[in-house]
Structure 1
């Protein structure tokens, strides 16, 4: 099975604030990036398309779903990390080191990276089997990093908006 892991297109908050669970729409650039994701995956043997239910992920996956005629399925386990009390705050005013300070300790009112990893791996375990074809998952920065970190091919993955990484998952007992 080949996985195409896409990060949603640009929103007005990307790079400026801790967006997290805010349900922001794509900007015009983000809409163009969504079209670019669809073009990048054109002609592939896509069998399933999954996305976070946040509108920026749904809007990014929609052109691909339309082009393939496949249903776009959403799952709340693909939502971005819950930044808790930092949600919506400008990044310049509040420094945050998730991998150091919140690897296992949740952000006040939010989640830890371990919790994000647990829920995204729960999604992965529940992913319906696909006999022939490829799976597209449209998520967010931290969700995609955590999923790729567990099932990816070892590359250092730091997803930019509107990007796609394609890989064959590493299958190991301890991952499931």
Structure 2
């Protein structure tokens, strides 16, 4: 089985380097171009299933990629980006100024720290892991998952060690395409491609 993970195209929040996951925002003009480039990559690949998060940015990306195809989009909340709670929509500098004590805790125990009204990386990882466990059970040749940078890093972590140890060892740029293969009862990372 081939599972293609596509990070949604750029948004203004990505461009401005703000922390956001729960915020529902649209692609900017660069993000639309990135999605169009990804569409070129997928134009000759027959996709059996397409999963997206509940966010507009993944929906827009998927619609551009699948332009003209009769493909059902399956929304799954488990592949929503991590919820940063009160940190949502703020830059790192703004978060440090507004929540200095919380930032100390965050830096000390980043896996377990949960911002107010948000979720911890451990909570986030558990739902992404649950999604991947269900992917194993599918009977399909090619699957596309349009998701978020944090989700894709969590997937890499799940494949490598089934915990968050490798979470910060990977980058995931807007528009990147990662091919994960599932063979002989195991996942492996086949390739990571930049669309630029």
TM-score by length of 2: 0.77
| Greater share of residues in helix | 2
| Structure-to-structure mapping, 1:40-119, within 5 angstroms | 40-94=41-95, 101-119=109-127
- Aligned match for 1:149, one of 157, 165, 174: 157
Contact between 1:51 and 1:137, CA under 8 Å: does it hold in 2?
A: yes
- 1:69 offset after TM fit, Å? 2.2
Determine which structure has more spread, i.e. the larger CA radius of gyration: 2
Residue number in structure 2 paired with 1:164? 177
Q: For structure 2, which runs of at least 5 residues remain unmatched after alignment?
A: 97-102, 187-196
Aligned length: 172
Contact between 2:136 and 2:182, CA under 8 Å: does it hold in 1?
A: no
- 1:80 offset after TM fit, Å? 0.6
Contact between 2:3 and 2:179, CA under 8 Å: does it hold in 1?
A: yes
Find the aligned partners of 1:85 and 1:132 in 2 and give their Cα distance: 39
Provide the alpha-carbon RMSD of the alignment: 2.6
Residue number in structure 2 paired with 1:5? 5
Find the aligned partners of 2:174 and 2:108 in 1 and give their Cα distance: 24
Distance 1:152 1:6, change over 3 A: farther
Q: For structure 1, which runs of at least 5 residues remain unmatched after alignment?
A: none
Contact between 1:152 and 1:169, CA under 8 Å: does it hold in 2?
A: no
